[in-house]
Structure 1
Amino acid sequence: MTEDRPVAIVTGATGGMGSEIVRDLVRTHRVYALGRRDDVLSELAVETGAEARRVDVTDRDALTAFAEELDRVDVLVHAAAVGGAVSVEDATEADWLLALTTNVVGPSLLTRALLPRLREAEATVVFIGSGASTRPAPGSAVYTASKHALRAVADVLRIDEEKHRVRVVTIAPGQTDTAMLRAGVPAESYAAERYIRPSSVAESVRYVVDLPADAHITDIALRPRQEIARL
């Protein structure tokens, strides 16, 4: 592996989807794996050779400092997210701020900090959204609102950056076998085989990253083979 490989950044690298995306992209890219859990980051770095960085997407200064280190970015994957089913009735201000800061503001600020490099490389920016980004999820106003907002950020960014040939993609997985999903499903009814594998999300990222230069897929709705809930 040489240092002239294209550079990819993956946030949320310590989560189920993010770690699989890192594992896939290291085959062809120099990957910066960003996350909050030092133990998982260390294991991922040893396993994959990715450059692990402890960066919280809610920390504006940390995002800016990280972006200033880089002189090239070819792929940016926003996989960091917080979930949870919280209704308007039950949500506190802290619930709203955490979800919006993590799921919307953080990705937006990191993208802004990296825009000069993204433009230079005519890069691909991938937002990992959700089926909830297009249809309401009952009892989950906070998460659903944040994913609607993230979808809007991606759609406007795509228009604004078209002149720079930056590709902007939203991949919206349905229920995926991750710790986030397991936390919200009763253990006695959880069946991993019913859900999308995180590696399948990584393969979708690979697909859009490897598109020819003349092509641009803007949205991918990734659903379980047998629908569980039609979000």
Structure 2
Amino acid sequence: MSVRPVTVVTGAVGGIGAALARELAPGHDLILSGRNVGALEALCAEVGGTPLVLDLTRPESFEAALAGLGRVSNVVHNAGVVELGAVAEQDHAVWSHTLAVNVVAPAELTRLLLPRVRAERGSVVFVNSGAGLRANAGWGSYAASKFALKALADALREEEAAHGVRVTSVYPGRTATPMQEKVRSQEGAPYTPEAFVRPESVAALIAFALNAPRDALLPDLSVRPGPQ
């Protein structure tokens, strides 16, 4: 009888995170992290997951929060924040918060969980963004964090190959999520979810990377809205 993989998902109550939890639930034991405790508990009850309370702005608190965990096969870094604004207008507080949540937290969480993931010859997936490949006006702080996240993933992939750990970056285009609704509001544009990628489609792609045969490595995956 095969042992079910244990997969940690951050940002689990967001659009992509919740869709991923539902996508993985039939075949994975899930450890789910999110900011909205009520929504997180409801999702865990729905999919049979275990809640993991993390404050991503306090990486020094991660070790204690993770101490009670057993096996971990995979880690999906899905949590993220975005605040649009020109470089001339955004102060250091925005940059510090964005980089802390989008880069420092995934780096520290990965470091602490790597011994468990190595033991399982598992996977680490970073949910990046199209902004991690190209920076447009008004997206400086967010794009900088996502470029840094790509660098983290690329370095980790090379470092962990000898341990049998697979590392994948996923670059979704605009996706119909609450974060995208916030972005459209900041852009002063209407939110039209039917024009964007469904979070379930991104979740299916992440699940494909996690469940791929061991002889396949999918280092970079991009997904864009398809023709309507």
One fold, TM greater than 0.5? yes
1:61 maps to amino acid: E
**Percentage identity across aligned positions?**
38
Contact 1:41–1:54 (Cα < 8 Å) also in 2: no
- 1:98-113 superposed matches below 5 A: 98-113=97-112
Paired residue for 1:199? 200
- 1:75-86 superposed matches below 5 A: 75-86=74-85
Report Cα offsets for 1:115-137 as digits up to 9, x if no partner.
Answer: 11111111110000000111112
Q: Normalised by the size of structure 1, how large is the TM-score?
A: 0.93
Q: After the TM superposition, which parts of structure 1 deviate over 3 Å for at least 4 consecutive aligned residues?
A: none
Q: Which runs of 5+ in 1 are unaligned?
A: none
2:79 maps to amino acid: A
Offset at residue 59 of structure 1 (A): 2.0
Paired residue for 1:218? 219
Paired residue for 1:178? 177
Q: Is the deviation greater in 35-44 or in 149-158?
A: 35-44
- 1:11-90 superposed matches below 5 A: 11-90=10-89
Aligned residues: 226
Supply the distance in 2 between the matched residues of 1:115 and 1:45 (Cα, whole angstroms): 24
Offset at residue 189 of structure 1 (A): 2.5
Q: Which runs of 5+ in 2 are unaligned?
A: none
- 1:152-171 superposed matches below 5 A: 152-171=151-170
Paired residue for 2:115? 116
Contact 1:12–1:78 (Cα < 8 Å) also in 2: yes
Supply the distance in 1 between the matched residues of 2:100 and 2:2 (Cα, whole angstroms): 33
Paired residue for 2:128? 129
Contact 2:40–2:51 (Cα < 8 Å) also in 1: yes
Contact 2:53–2:65 (Cα < 8 Å) also in 1: no
Supply the distance in 1 between the matched residues of 2:22 and 2:157 (Cα, whole angstroms): 27
Structure 1 vs Structure 2 CA RMSD: 1.8
Offset at residue 226 of structure 1 (A): 4.2
